[in-house]
């Protein structure tokens, strides 16, 4: 599994990251390299912050 960011960027599975869902539709992925990845993800409606291994497959629907 990988994280697809807007169908372009890829973060491999197993990447340590902090996941924070904000504004009910954007998923921020803070990786160990301090890069910030914003993914449009409308399936969640609450704010969640967690630390773990990336194992999500997210697609941005244009």
pLDDT digit string (tens) for 23-54? 445 555 555 554 555 444 444 333 334 444 44
Question: What's the pLDDT band for 60 if we cut at 50, 70, 90?
Answer: very low
Check residue 1 and report its DSSP letter.
-
What's the whole-number mean pLDDT along residues 16-24? 53
Strands 48-53 and 16-22, how do they pair? Answer: antiparallel
**Radius of gyration over every alpha carbon of the chain, rounded to an integer in angstroms:** 11
How much is the pTM? 0.25
């Amino acid at each position: 599994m990988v994280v697809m960011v807007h169908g372009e960027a890829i973060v491999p599975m197993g990447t340590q990251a902090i996941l924070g869902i904000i504004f009910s539709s954007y998923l921020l992925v803070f990786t160990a390299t301090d890069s910030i990845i914003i993914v449009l993800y409308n399936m969640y409606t609450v704010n969640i912050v967690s630390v773990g291994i990336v194992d999500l497959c997210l697609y941005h629907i244009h």
